[in-house]
Structure 1
Amino acid sequence: MISAGSATRGAGLLGACGVLVLVCLLSIAVGARSIPLPEVWQALWSPSDSTESLVIHDLRIPRTLLGLGVGAALGLAGALMQALTRNPLADPGLLGVNLGASAAVVIGIGWFGVGAASGYVWFAFAGAAAASVLVFLLGSAGRRAATPERLVLAGVAISAALSAFISTVVLLDNKTFDQFRYWVVGALAGRKMSTVIELAPFLLAGIVLALLLARSLNAIALGEEAGRALGADIGRTRALGAVAITLLCGAATAAAGPIGFVGLAVPHMVRGFTGPDQRWLLPYSMVLSPVLLLAADILGRILLSPGELEVGVVTAFLGAPVFILLVRRRKLVAA
């Protein structure tokens, strides 16, 4: 028999999916050339040679699909980070993923002459993966297991080193700085469908792995001893969680650049409705994070129309004050 709480959460998740569909349609309709929703719906099912149809299929649909994938990845990765570290203020950047990707992009631009967004993708993904693996190896070095505290400390150390490396390279090479600054701000514009297709397997693998870890994460949330008593393999769960975070953050950062706040705040806000149960927290974060990301992208197009403001800038401006207010209200930090 389904409990009232489960029924409410299930209905809420369906409602969130409905909101996501609406935001996706708005993302396709709104831009420098605004297209009425009826025309959007018709163009989706009956492509033509009209300008509106070409804009929708060549520009807006790839951008919206990328926002869906990147938002879902950041939300799930943030929820995983907060569960694995038992820290509600943790975010995907805590393991050095963003800075690992950024360092690799700097290398690609400065040392290999990569000049297109399609070329940044694989450098960024490789850098994100390498940083995550290095953090996990350092956090698990020695006789002690990779505890949340050791992983966080390893992430801080690696992030500091990577930040210094990036600053050194871009300050010494103006050409690298000029190209790098457009990627590092975080944006969904200018990406092709080929980028979405190339990264889709990594995103799907990370999403499936993250959702499969829900029960184990619930067990280890009670503490290591209680988790083992409930049959959870602590080391295996942390290792698989690190793999999922690498896949999700690596692909998302490679495709859109480092985008802040989404993976930090959405899982935290969702927890107020779902509670700590990862079986609900993870799916809600996966659905509502792209809602936030696409809504921010739409707002960025409206604010500077016919130009646009990059989504990474919008999420930072909107998200930071809201999150600070939320943290203070919940008394997670000292007032």
Structure 2
Amino acid sequence: MKKLTLNDIAKHFGVSISTVSKAVNDNAEISKEVRDKIQKYAKEHHYRPNRVALSLLKKSTKTIGVIVPTILNYFFTQVFFGIEKTANARGYNIISCTSDESYPKEVHTVGLLSAGIVDGLILSLSHETQAKANIEHISNFIDAQIPLVLFDRVSDKIECDKVIVDDLQAGYNTTKHLLNAGCKNIALVSEIYNSSVGKLRVSGYQNALKERNIPFDSKLLLKVKKDDDLELLITFLLDYKKIDAIIALDEMMAADVLYILKSKNIKVPEEISIIGFTNGRLSKYVSPSLTMVSQHGKYIGELTANILIDRIENKGDFIPYTTKIVKTSLIERESTRSIK
């Protein structure tokens, strides 16, 4: 069945397309009698407005694009929840995408969303993008004068609004907590070693060690690539030195480390303590439950969405770019020893 258009309705009633458009949108410029007739006809014939055409006419789509590196990380799930809740409350829809940590996919998706289908974009850079340090696609997006907010994984080369976690302090606080508990040989396991987030957490870890005059041992920094055998890497690590604590830079990694240690009959936390990043449901229900660093993902999502929508709705005004820094919290559970 051919889709009914404004032009079809205009021909049926012998009026202009503008008159039909105003009648369909209940504009008081058109008499109530004419409005009622046109609206009734449109409803009976299942007329649906062309949203793309309307958005071009109004120069607004009331839609926000969101690109996250992965949906498998609970942090990004929580951020998205906060974005969607806030956007919907303010009358905006969401187009959600994942880059799967891929630079080419991120480039393609950013290009797609720059074609006038969103009013603004919220983005956390992929692992590959940060490793390549190539942000030309982001510069092109900004050149199209579409508002952008970067969160979590950001770049100093991009001038825009940003919402970041205080990852340097988080890495420092986490390491210091373990040192205060009596741990001496603390390993750090990371899949995100090339990201801004991963680098800052490692720097915080190094700062805490330096403060206690403990030399940094690069062999205790376990860089895990996508296809690596984590169990084998952990085995090599345990053979190298008597480890008494492990910091994992995401929740899934912390759970995997816990599983591997238990399979080797290593007691957690009596022999090795574990702390992970991102306080998701998984960390609560494994045994022993995992001590985690909470990054307050839902709050970050809400904050990010509000910053973007404020900029969209004040697009003609000069508003300096802002960088908001969110502090983390340590949620202590059973996988670490109590500080005495």
More helix by share: 1
Structure with larger Rg: 2
More strand by share: 2
Structure with bigger RCO (C-alpha 8 Å, 6+ apart): 1
> How high is the TM-score relative to the length of structure 1?
0.28
> How high is the TM-score relative to the length of structure 2?
0.28
